[in-house]
Amino acid sequence: MFRGFEFKAGPWASMAAAAAIALTLALGSWQVSRGREKSALKAQLEALGHEPAVNISVSEIDAKDVQWRRVRARGRFDPRYAVFIDNRIRHGAAGYEVVMPLKLEGSDRYVLVNRGWIAGNPDRSRLPMVRTPDSVVTVSGLAVVPGRHFLELSTNIAEGIVWQNLTLERYRQAVRIMIQPFVIRQDSDLDDGLVREWDAPDLGISMHYGYAFQWFALAATIFVFYLVVHVKRKDPA
């Protein structure tokens, strides 16, 4: 060691420090591995989004076959079954995402379409007017499966046609129509005034690397603490 100092550590202290350092390094490495897996998944999703659009047929489709892929559907919107997803912010303005079923041409089956964002009225008791084509249209966009990855702070989560969040199970309970097991996040233009600026899916890549840094930093802290505690100044002869 350094001149005038000596290292004194018992076997139990050394074993405890070694175990703690090994554990934190292992956890940090696992987080790095998860970050790499999520990065690979992100690249895969981006590749799927650039493939040719899949035409949605009238038969039920397995969501796994189209999730995060571009799809195309032809039919007629049914405004009777529209819902407004509340508290959606765009460029500092509060508004709604408009989710409306599209009745597939030649079928009684529907597919839900997230048509885009519209600003709310200053008077919250009045919903904004949404222009909806009354003819058969072709809609294209990304197929997504809305899940339960959100926090609902209120039990009042579905008031009439204004909902806080959307899940397919909730929609099926509220509206008794046959729907495909996914939602089209529309990006085709129908000259309806809705804003379609969609965020990329957040896979938590930066979160994993942030946790990895914390675990590695903790490992380094344990090692430094172990040295500081057990390096003693030599007694003068």
Q: Please write the tens of the pLDDT for every residue from 127-143.
A: 999 999 999 999 999 99
Residues 135-164, mean pLDDT to the nearest whole number: 74
The pLDDT of residue 4:
65
* Total domains, the chain: 2
Contact 111, 184 (CB under 8 A): yes
Checking if the pLDDT of 59 tops 90, the result is no
Please give the structure tokens belonging to residue 235: 């007694």
**Residue 40 sits in the same domain as residue 76:** no
Supply the range of the domain harboring residue 128. 51-186
The pLDDT of residue 148:
53
**Residue 95 sits in the same domain as residue 149:** yes
**Residue 98 sits in the same domain as residue 175:** yes
- Closest by alpha carbon to 198, among 131, 139, 114? 114
Checking if the pLDDT of 27 tops 60, the result is yes
Residues 154-182, mean pLDDT to the nearest whole number: 83
Checking if the pLDDT of 33 tops 70, the result is yes
The pLDDT of residue 154:
47
Is residue 182 one of the residues assigned to a domain?
yes
Provide the greatest CA pair distance for the chain: 99
**Residue 63 sits in the same domain as residue 38:** no
Lowest mean pLDDT, pick from 4-18, 65-79, 122-136:
4-18
> Residue 48: which residues within 8 A CB-CB, separation 6 or more?
68, 69, 70
Is residue 4 one of the residues assigned to a domain?
no
DSSP assignment string, 40-53: HHHHHHHHHHTSPP
Contact 113, 102 (CB under 8 A): yes
Checking if the pLDDT of 8 tops 50, the result is yes
Is residue 195 one of the residues assigned to a domain?
no
Checking if the pLDDT of 70 tops 50, the result is yes
What does pLDDT average to over the chain? 86
Please state, as a whole number, how many other Cβ atoms lie within 10 Å of the Cβ of residue 224.
10
Neighbour-count burial for 67-92, b at 16+ CB within 10 Å, e otherwise? bbbbbebebbbeeebbbbbbebeeee
Tokens 């897996």 locate to 37
**Residue 137 sits in the same domain as residue 178:** yes
Residues 143-152, mean pLDDT to the nearest whole number: 67
Checking if the pLDDT of 1 tops 60, the result is no
Please give the structure tokens belonging to residue 153: 């702070």
Please give the structure tokens belonging to residue 131: 């222009």
Contact 100, 112 (CB under 8 A): yes
C-alpha to C-alpha distances, 96 to 6, 115, 134, 160, nearest whole angstrom? 68, 10, 21, 14
Cα–Cα distance for residue pair 89/84, rounded to 1 Å:
13
| pLDDT per position as a tens digit, 179-230 | 999 999 999 988 898 999 887 777 788 899 899 999 999 999 999 988 888 7
Residues 86-111, mean pLDDT to the nearest whole number: 93
If one compares 76 and 64, the residue with the highest pLDDT of the two is 76
Is residue 103 one of the residues assigned to a domain?
yes
Is residue 220 one of the residues assigned to a domain?
yes
